[in-house]
Structure 1
Amino acid sequence: MRSFAHLLVIATALTGVLAQYDDGYENVTTATTPVQIRLAYQGPTAMMVSWNTFQQLANPTVSYGLSPDALTQTASSSVSITYATSLTYNNHVDITGLLPYTTYYYLPQYSNATTPYTFTTARLAGDATPYTVGVVVDMGTFGALGLSDVTGSNGGTNPLAVNEQTTIAALTEMIDNYEFMVHAGDIAYADYWLKEEIQDYLPTTTTDQGAVVYESILNAFFDEMVGITSQKAYMVNAGNHEANCDNGGSTDKTTGVVYTESICLAGQTNFTGYINHWRMPSGPSGGLGNFWFSYVHLIRSSLSQLKEMMC
């Protein structure tokens, strides 16, 4: 993982390169270059395209079409949002009026990609054709890029063995074998940053730098996932690591300092990063905000079954 210390690095006159922007993992030379591209179903005839930039966009726009050589249609929004400790802006564009289960080609605004990305819309409800879904939980970075191949000096365990690979690498390798991804909570484990530092997986910083470290880990995870999330709908749900900072109660085994949740800054609590980064299909699914997995439907279903049992 690249240095956590700098968001903006001014290149020297010797290189002649413009300002370089660093989200903790990905370096780009312009503040509007898309990073962390991700997709989410919005029903069978719509797709949410999201990405991050270092500068707020007035009208985030996506060009798309049925051919890579003819991105003749565009969709735009006014959603380019951030929060106090974020290093980037989250841009969200909902492309509607699409054909179900159809492959489209697309490019987010200001992309310098030489070929368009692709996505395939969802199937219609009732389609009984078998398909495979990729499902993960509790998946995130640990150490520089996902699971480490070494143990930490203060308690890290279960390193990757020779010829083993991270889950992200395996999912990327098998991308043609599943139709979309479901990540049912605990995304990135960025809130684990202090514990990772204590276990010597990350460079030692101060707790005052916790916001930058947290955001850098979060961004690194999203950047690592782009090979998947720019092609497949990535349907996420919130877990406890999206709700709170997991460092409260951590003890530095070297100094003996016991940390409390007071070190948890904006973006690490109350689902802040999750709410800003994602746009799940709450409308079509009857959910609330990005908490789209509708517990309302489960409750209604349970009540309906109970009613039938009582009749």
Structure 2
Amino acid sequence: MSQQRTQHKDPRIVTALRRFAISITALNIFGYTVLGFEQAWAWPLLALAVGYSVEILLETIGAWAEERRARYLGGGVRGFVEFLYPAHITSLAVNMLLYVNDQVPVMLFAVMVAISGKWLFRAPVNGRLRHYMNPSNFGIAIALLLFPWISIAPPYQFTEHLTGVGDWIVPAVIVIFGTLLNAKLTGRMWLIAGWLGVFVLQSVFRGLVLDTSIVGALATMTGVAFVLFTNYMITDPGTTPSKPSSQFAFGGGVALVYGVLTGASVVYGLFFATAIVCLIRGGFLWSLHAVRLAARPGPTDAGALDGKVSASVTREMVRA
């Protein structure tokens, strides 16, 4: 019988997840009633049902395989709700950002891929296994690759039924609340700085080298979709670095890869760039783990380290 491990949750991350969940729920309600979201009203509910089910199923299987208690048990109603925050955020984000016409199975497939990716793609971080592929982004990217006839949701839907000052209020609210959230809870402002700074540089570079309109490239940053991506997608605390320098490199790396993809006429560069950089980071984390194992050639030490990483999978992982 394996020893039951105590789950320690960072209250700041739990609070951040709660506010992420509330924010995206409010945005969906506002989007369907006021803004002009074009997916069917029932789809976010279907996405949530599938996302919750897959999350609970995979956690149940994982708990059985690792001989531990499932993380949705033991914390009462509050603990169960907190367990579902990541699935809630991921499911609503995938449905909100994908446009699959009337093919709802494709959207639900993307939700299942997004949730499953947190179990399939993990790497050792500070002695425990953590998922490194941004869940929502991963599900969307895989769907776009497998089903080239679908697209991302049209950006105009976020302000389709607004006019005048209303066109400015929505992005302003997202920026204000997103900045407060990332500054006080997730601590990802250095990542945002790297992302925005290098995005400006690559826009100017493409304008000078590839005869791209610099104003047009920079105007991308004014759209609601870009603002959402900046404040609520790329800053996922579970799949991004914590150190300021690493954050800056990660955000700048996504912008750089985006510039390369866009310069090569690859569409949906935001999602593919984020997936590529997350994948590179995962490979880097595994390479660091291999170097540490190589530095401890003794079978006892290596075995102990492997055991520590394997057991650590039972600890709370931050999901988005």
TM-score (norm 1): 0.27
Higher relative contact order (CA 8 A, sep 6+): 2
Between structures 1 and 2, the one with greater helix share: 2
Higher strand fraction: Structure 1 or Structure 2?
Answer: 1
